Amino acid sequence: MYILYYSPGTASMVVHLALLEIGAPYELRLVDFDQDAQHGAEYLKLNPRGVVPTLLIDGRPRAESAALLQMLAERHPEAKLIPPAGTPEREAWLQWTVYLSNTLMSSYRFWFYPAELGAAEHTPEIRAALQAKIAAVWDLLDAQLAAQGPYLLGRDFSGVDLLLTMLMRWSRNMPRPATEWPALKRLADLVRARPSWMKLYELEGLSEW
């Protein structure tokens, strides 16, 4: 039994999606951000950084959403969320997963939490620079998908597409959301049509894309 500590629509989303795709038994435990539960003493014992997600695997707390996606995919190869080890597809999967984590996730951190850049809010210049950095990632990914899609690994869906679609969702209120890039929108539409995505919305009480 897996136990996922989550908050709706956050980085825990990709882990929850992976659990739904796998079909393994799991339990959800809400970390209520409105009550600052992520900084409570009990939660900090599991995740000293005070962030979500945290996944208990055989009672062991593990963190970092991209890493958790890989852990689950490797533990459940029958779900085909990750290609077999030693294949070119596995190499591409690892490449894109690390790229998304290192570029988009880190950039979003600064976009949503300006205090991490030492300011209460962004200056127009910093906001424009962050927006341009994120848009450059969309440019690269859209070109990849247009040439070799519809998924990041080509014709076959995998767990990295869940990660990308979650990150695309986070752009929905930005001046230019990711769905304005046509190949990215096609990918998002494919992932949003999956039963796992629809079930997650029901369980987490999400509505807006």
- Where a domain ends, among 80, 110, 141? 80
Same domain, 72 and 117: no
List the domain range (segments joined by +) for residue 151. 88-194
Residue 102 lies in a domain: yes
Report in angstroms the alpha-carbon separations of 91 from 84, 88, 145. 10, 5, 17
- Residues 208/166, Cβ–Cβ less than 8 Å: no
Q: Amino acid letter at 63?
A: A
Residue 54 lies in a domain: yes
Give the pLDDT score at 136: 98
DSSP code for 27: E
CATH number of the structural domain spanning residue 188: 1.20.1050.10
Residue 205 lies in a domain: no
Coil, strand or helix at 52: coil
Instruction: Identify the weakest region by mean pLDDT among 4-18, 26-40, 114-128, 156-170.
Output: 114-128
- Where a domain ends, among 60, 80, 100? 80
User: What pLDDT digit, counting tens, does each position of 23-65 carry?
Assistant: 999 999 999 999 999 999 999 999 999 999 999 999 999 999 9
In 3D space, the residue among 135, 88, 90, 89 whose CA is nearest the CA of residue 111 turns out to be: 135
- Where a domain ends, among 80, 110, 137? 80
Same domain, 186 and 111: yes
In 3D space, the residue among 95, 79, 75 whose CA is nearest the CA of residue 87 turns out to be: 95
User: What pLDDT digit, counting tens, does each position of 55-107 carry?
Assistant: 999 999 999 999 999 999 999 999 999 999 999 999 999 999 999 999 999 99
Q: Can you tell me the distance from the alpha carbon of 172 to that of 170, in angstroms, rounded to the nearest whole number?
A: 6
CB 200: neighbour CB atoms within 10 A? 22
CATH number of the structural domain spanning residue 75: 3.40.30.10
CB 162: neighbour CB atoms within 10 A? 26
User: Does residue 197 register a pLDDT over 90?
Assistant: yes
